[in-house]
Structure 1
Amino acid sequence: MPKESLKDKLDGDELDLGLNNLSTVPVKELSLLPKARRLDLSCNTITTLPDAFCDLTHLVKIDFSKNQLTELPVRFGALSNLEHLDLLGNQLTILPISFCHLNKLKWLDLKDNPLKEDLKKAAGDCLDEKQCKTCAKNVITYMKHINSELERRKQKELQKKRGKY
Structure 2
Amino acid sequence: MSKNSKVLNLKDKISGNELDLSLCNLTEVPVRELAFFTKATVLDLSCNNITSLPPEFCNLTHLVKIDLSKNQLTGLPDDLGNLDNLQHLDLYNNKLTELPVSFSQLKSLKWLDLKDNPLEPGLAKAAGDCLDEKQCKQCATKVLQHMRGIQEEVDRAREKRLLREKELEKKREAKQREREARVKEARKREKAEEKEKRRKEYNAQVAAAAAREQQKKKNEEKKKKNGQVAADKKVVISAPKPQRSLVGLIFKLLLLLCLGLAGVAAACRLTDLQKEAMCVPVNLAVNDGLSWAKEQEVVVRQLLSNLSSAAREFFESARASEN
Which TM-score band (shorter chain)?
over 0.9
- 2:157 paired residue number: 153
Question: 1:9 aligned to 2:13?
Answer: yes
- Structure with bigger strand share is 1
Q: Determine which of 114, 135, 138 is the counterpart of 1:134.
A: 138
- How far does residue 3 in structure 1 lie from its aligned partner after superposition? 8.7
1:55 aligns with 2:46: no
Alpha-carbon distance between aligned partners in 1 of 2:30 and 2:73, rounded to the nearest angstrom: 15
Larger-Rg structure: 2
The percentage of aligned residue pairs carrying the same residue is: 59
Q: What CA distance in whole angstroms lies between the structure 2 residues aligned with 1:82 and 1:43?
A: 20
AA at the equivalent of 2:116: D
- The CA distance in 2 between the partners of 1:62 and 1:163, in whole Å, is 44
Aligned to 1:43: 47
Letter in 2 for 1:59: L
Aligned residues: 165
Q: For the residues of structure 1 that align with 2:33 and 2:161, how far apart are their CA atoms?
A: 43
Taking structure 1 as the reference length, the TM-score comes to 0.96
State the Cα deviation string for residues 100-129 of structure 1 (Å, max 9, x = none): 100000000000000001000000000000
- When the two chains are superposed, the root-mean-square deviation of aligned CA atoms in Å is 1.5
**What are the residue-to-residue correspondences of 1:1-165 with 2, within 5 Å?**
5-164=9-168, 165=171
Q: Is the contact between residue 3 and residue 29 of structure 1 (CA under 8 Å) also seen in structure 2?
A: no
Instruction: Answer 1 or 2: which has greater helix percent.
Output: 2
Distance 1:159 1:22 in 2: 45
**1:160, distance to aligned residue in structure 2 (A):** 3.2
Whole-angstrom CA distance in 1 between matches of 2:167 and 2:44: 52
SS of the residue corresponding to residue 89 of structure 1 reads: coil
How many Å apart are 1:158 and its aligned residue?
A: 2.8
Distance 1:115 1:109 in 2: 12
> What TM-score do you get using the length of structure 2 for normalisation?
0.50
Could you tell me how far apart the structure 1 residues matched to 2:150 and 2:57 are? Answer: 24
> Which residue is 2:278 aligned to?
none
Listed one character per residue, the Cα deviations across residues 21-58 of structure 1 (whole Å, up to 9, x for unaligned) are 00000000100000110000000000001000000000
CA displacement, residues 2-37 of structure 1 (integer Å, 9 cap, x when unaligned) = 997111110000011000000000000100000110
The secondary structure found in structure 1 opposite 2:10 is: helix
Greater RCO (Cα-Cα under 8 Å, separation 6 or more): 1
Q: 1:126 to 1:3 in 2, by over 3 A?
A: closer
* Structure 1: 4+ residue segments shifted above 6 A: none
Contact 2:7 2:24 in 1 (8 A): no
Q: CA separation in 1, counterparts of 2:128 and 2:157?
A: 28
The amino acid that maps onto 1:118 is G
Q: Residue 145 of structure 1: SS of its match in structure 2?
A: helix
